Amino acid sequence: MKNGFTGIFEVDSVLKTLALCILTIGSYLIYKLYLFSSQINQHTELKISKVFISITIFLFTISLGSLIYGLANLHAPTILTNSIRLHIISSVFDVTWIIMVRNRINLIAGSNKGDKLWLNPFITSIFHVIYMQHKINQGLAKSAR
């Protein structure tokens, strides 16, 4: 396996990633996770299961739709309650996927705790793909020197 980001990931704007994550109500987050996973799967032995990815995307889509429907029907609290339950299940899959991608990016970078390219779990849990893209950009800039 190649050590480093070159040939696996591409530079992308962190501000664009942030804006699109907000404007798309998290859908761009799922797209970026899918993109990172595809790049990891194509260029390394550190595969992320396509079945897991598909289930997670399906759950996210259903969860987002049901939350919107539940909020539109606030007069029926059971709809919103069930939507929230589904959202919790979806969130568990989302967080698991984020952790899987984070761990693989750390392995690809060859980084350990305290290294410049190491993806801190706390910061990753808050900023997800925005922070991942930032670290990828740093790693690609470092290898371009």
pLDDT in tens, 57-74: 999 999 999 988 988 888
pLDDT of residue 3: 53
Q: What is d(CA 4, CA 109) in angstroms, rounded to the nearest whole number? A: 5
CA gap 60, 68 in Å, rounded: 12
Query: pLDDT confidence of 145, banded at 50, 70, 90?
Result: low
* Residues 18-31 pLDDT 10s: 999 999 999 999 99
Alpha-carbon torsion (50, 39, 44, 13), positive or negative: negative
Taking 3-state DSSP, the helix, strand and coil percentages for the chain, each rounded to the nearest 5, stand at 75, 0, 25
pLDDT in tens, 90-125: 999 999 999 999 999 999 999 999 999 999 999 999
The Cα 70–Cα 79 span in angstroms is: 5
